[in-house]
Amino acid sequence: MPARRRTRSTSRDDPDTVTERLVDARGMRCPWPVIRLARAARELGGPGRIRILADDPIAPGEIAALCTERGWTCRGGEGSFEIAIGSDA
């Protein structure tokens, strides 16, 4: 199942605009949710937010580990996580 993405473009003229992505990794088993999260972060190309939906019971620990490793902020649980990347996210 391909990742679904919702993107709101950033604008250098509007500092309140933030890029957001939605990654739907439901039905995928680890490590795929984390791989999709890392890909979405790379595609952001800078500060932004990613919401990932993942229902694998191992995913919360894997997502938290990736966020800690990369210095991202992670909130959520029960299959939905909000990831803030960069100081402006």
Residues making up the chain, counted from first to last = 89
The predicted model scores a pTM of: 0.78
Q: Residue range 60-79: average pLDDT?
A: 95
Q: Which residues pair with 74 in a beta bridge?
A: 83
Query: For 36-62, how does the pLDDT look when each residue is reduced to its tens digit (9 = 90+)?
Result: 999 999 999 999 999 999 999 999 999
Tell me what pLDDT residue 43 has.
Answer: 95
CATH class of 30-85: alpha beta
Decide if 71 contacts 41 (C-beta within 8 A).
Answer: no
Q: Which residues pair with 50 in a beta bridge?
A: 21, 83
